[in-house]
Structure 1
Amino acid sequence: MTITTKPAPGRTQDADLTERILEATEQHLRAHGFSGLRVEQVAQTVGCGKTAIYRRWPTKEELAAAVVTHQADPGVEPDTGSLVEDLVIHQEQSMIHQSYEQGLRGERPIWGILIEPGVRDIVDEQFIAARRERGRTIVARAVSRGEVPPETDADALLDMIAGFSFYRTNVRDERLTLASFRQVASTVAGAPPLRIIT
């Protein structure tokens, strides 16, 4: 990734500066992780003052979360009439958000910074919560079609698929395929986790 280290002559447009700050922050996160992220180093890389960064993102957590959500796209809500196919599409959309991690062996994965509580809370509020609600809708439709029992635990089902994908990409550094999504979705849909009634 090429980072422009000096602003263009004349007044830098706000959108351009924002983009360059996010690119530089991503570069620093990949090289040093969240604990090694220093706003002053990002500012130096971009060629701006720290104030320009803090004006956009008042905390380091908000800056890191902005990098995570910058390329995120909620996609469209799938409704194929099949739980398995809807889950495959839903998970594929989730993986598009992580697709730029591929081919970057040796660098820290950006989505891996979600283990930082402050970053995770912001990303959850701005992005993940809406995706989770969409997943619950997919499962609810499957219940209404009789594909899975009414006591299916939608959150546990979604966690099983998302956890598999997150572990494979962020821990094992493997590329996932639609075939692997379909295999996991088929397995989970065939024997879905049920809510525990106490």
Structure 2
Amino acid sequence: MNEDTNERRRSIGARRNPETEQAILEAAEAIMAEEGIAGFSIDAVARRARAGKPTIYKWWPGKTALLLDVYHRHKPASVHMDTGTVEGDVFAFLTGVFAHWGDTGAGQVFRFVIAEAQRDAVAAAALVEYSAERRIQSGKVFQRGVERGELRPDVDVGLCADMLAGFIWQRLLTGRIERDPEQLRLVARQMVQGLLAPLRGANGHRTSPSGLTRG
């Protein structure tokens, strides 16, 4: 057994070795920071982390899956904070995601992931799995609204999460990452309150589609 093999970090079967996993993720982050997408490969990560390629492929089926883990590690906590209202939660989500994409290389990484998913079945599967997990997490924003009585009880929270994801993905892919708080508040308000004109109650006061009276 040669020196290179001795120095390699070892897998402990299907269960991930935390030290090896950390080394792989740190190596992947460093390569992204230093060389960008063009220099990123499983070979490069394996060399830098001193980990075997079979170990990496056992835990991540391809570089897209690994990139998604690197991407998600640095997503700010403010993206999924509970502000007490659905509209506030959506605004916080939009603000956090667009800041993350605009201030770091995360936007470039996610655009690459989406592009790879269009031509590679393994990448597409990784994106589908990642999106399903995020759909559940984003759906909690709307589920809390249902539980608080802000939203109708028959609201499909998964569909709401899809609409939110669709908006931010479209903005990312067309180079229109929004940073203006007023515009983001408008998006959150329109997404949550809808497009219907206010109704007129029996007393002549306007009411929102949710039934809340407005002056």
TM-score normalised by L of structure 2: 0.58
- Would the aligned equivalents of 1:30 and 1:108 in 2 still touch at CA under 8 Å? no
- For residues 157 and 49 of structure 1, what CA distance do their matches in structure 2 show? 41
Q: Which residue of 2 aligns with 1:99?
A: 100
Q: Does 1:167 align with 2:170?
A: yes
How far apart are 1:71 and its partner, in Å?
Answer: 1.5
Structure 1 residues 24 and 68: alpha-carbon distance in aligned structure 2, compared to 1, 3 A threshold: same
Structure 1 residues 25 and 67: alpha-carbon distance in aligned structure 2, compared to 1, 3 A threshold: farther
Could you tell me which of 29, 36, 42 is aligned with 1:39?
42
How far apart are 1:102 and its partner, in Å?
Answer: 3.1
Q: Which residue of 2 aligns with 1:134?
A: 140
Q: Which residue of 2 aligns with 1:20?
A: 26
- For residues 159 and 174 of structure 2, what CA distance do their matches in structure 1 show? 21
Structure 1 residues 132 and 86: alpha-carbon distance in aligned structure 2, compared to 1, 3 A threshold: closer
Displacement over 6 Å in runs of 4+: 10-13
Counterpart residue identity of residue 122, structure 1: E
SS in structure 2 at match of 1:121: helix
How far apart are 1:184 and its partner, in Å?
Answer: 0.7
Q: Which residue of 2 aligns with 1:119?
A: 126
Q: Does 1:57 align with 2:73?
A: no
Structure 1 residues 108 and 25: alpha-carbon distance in aligned structure 2, compared to 1, 3 A threshold: farther
How far apart are 1:140 and its partner, in Å?
Answer: 1.2
Q: Does 1:180 align with 2:179?
A: no
How far apart are 1:99 and its partner, in Å?
Answer: 0.8
Q: RCO higher in 1 or 2 (8 Å CA, sep ≥ 6)?
A: 1
Aligned length: 171
Structure 1 residues 190 and 108: alpha-carbon distance in aligned structure 2, compared to 1, 3 A threshold: closer
- Would the aligned equivalents of 2:24 and 2:46 in 1 still touch at CA under 8 Å? no
Structure 1 residues 83 and 31: alpha-carbon distance in aligned structure 2, compared to 1, 3 A threshold: closer
Structure 1 residues 179 and 159: alpha-carbon distance in aligned structure 2, compared to 1, 3 A threshold: farther
How far apart are 1:11 and its partner, in Å?
Answer: 9.2
Q: Which residue of 2 aligns with 1:189?
A: 192
Q: Which consecutive unaligned segments of at least 5 residues does structure 2 have?
A: 1-6, 10-18, 118-123, 197-215
SS in structure 2 at match of 1:59: coil
Counterpart residue identity of residue 78, structure 1: D
- For residues 121 and 29 of structure 1, what CA distance do their matches in structure 2 show? 27
Identical aligned residues as a percent: 12
Q: Which consecutive unaligned segments of at least 5 residues does structure 1 have?
A: 1-9, 194-198
If you compute each CA radius of gyration, which structure gives the higher value, 1 or 2?
2
Q: CA RMSD in A?
A: 3.9
- For residues 42 and 48 of structure 1, what CA distance do their matches in structure 2 show? 8
TM-score normalised by L of structure 1: 0.62
- Higher alpha-carbon deviation: 179-188 or 68-77: 68-77
Q: Does 1:68 align with 2:71?
A: yes
